[in-house]
Amino acid sequence: MPQPVELVSDRVTLSIPCEADIDRIAEVCSDPAIARWTTVPSPYRRENAAGFVGTVVPDGWASGRLCVWAIRTEGVLAGMISIGDIRERQGEIGFWLAPEFRGRGVMSEATRLAVEYAFRPRPDGLALKRMVWRALVGNTASAAVARRVGFRWEGVVPGGAQQRGRRLDEWRASLRPEDPREPASGWPELPDREAAP
């Protein structure tokens, strides 16, 4: 099983979310855009953050199926990033960022760190052979991050996503170790960003 590990770049540190982060996670996850585009509970309560930090994160690392990091920059928890659904040398990237940290490249930098960890050979990485990105159709901000770091467009999967009991259409892309980590061609023109509800 992978050991919980800290990943560091110029601007961001990825480290394991801990009890001291619970209130901040609960605060950020009440953002309407995070509710709109992810599968976090909505409304998001403190107990959801406590369960995430106390159970989901440690169980994920212990099982080897889910690696979760808090994204820290300027001494603050700016967001969360994970590699989930890890099996048969494949994993899925997932992330959210607090509104005040958006538009600065923080998530692109964090995603690069997580992707390199995913592909690095064991024991310093997960030795995965494929990373998957999935987003609800219309999540242009997420697509821009995936495209920027090199994910290759795969298409739309009708009804491919599930969010709070509803099936919704999703966008899919993937990245393999040999793909260049630069904006990939072949993506459709991304529609303008949807305003937060």
Ligand X SMILES: CC(C)(COP(=O)(O)OP(=O)(O)OC[C@H]1O[C@@H](n2cnc3c(N)ncnc32)[C@H](O)[C@@H]1OP(=O)(O)O)[C@@H](O)C(=O)NCCC(=O)NCCS
Residues of this chain that bind ligand X (CB under 6 A): 33-34, 37-38, 95-97, 102-108, 135, 139, 141-142, 144-145
Nearer to ligand X, 33 or 126 (CB): 33
Q: Minimum distance between the CB of residue 122 and ligand X, rounded to whole angstroms?
A: 27
Nearer to ligand X, 34 or 57 (CB): 34
Q: Minimum distance between the CB of residue 29 and ligand X, rounded to whole angstroms?
A: 10
Quick one: tokens of 115?
A: 């992707």
Concatenate the DSSP letters of all residues of 95-151 into one string: EEE-GGGTTSSHHHHHHHHHHHHHHSPTTTS---SEEEEEEETT-HHHHHHHHHHTP
Distances (CA, A) of 106 to 71, 115, 122, 180, 188: 9, 14, 26, 20, 24
Residue 146 near residue 158, CB atoms below 8 Å? no
For 177, half-sphere exposure in the C-beta direction (CA atoms, 13 angstrom radius) is 13
Q: Minimum distance between the CB of residue 92 and ligand X, rounded to whole angstroms?
A: 10
Separation between Cα atoms, residue 74 and residue 144, nearest integer Å:
23
Q: Minimum distance between the CB of residue 147 and ligand X, rounded to whole angstroms?
A: 9
The residue of the chain with the least Cβ separation from ligand X equals 105
Q: Minimum distance between the CB of residue 82 and ligand X, rounded to whole angstroms?
A: 11
Separation between Cα atoms, residue 120 and residue 118, nearest integer Å:
6
By C-alpha distance, which of 75, 82, 78 is closest to 99? 78
Q: Minimum distance between the CB of residue 96 and ligand X, rounded to whole angstroms?
A: 4
Q: What's the DSSP call for residue 4?
A: P
Nearer to ligand X, 89 or 104 (CB): 104
Nearer to ligand X, 1 or 195 (CB): 195
Nearer to ligand X, 50 or 144 (CB): 144
Nearer to ligand X, 124 or 194 (CB): 194
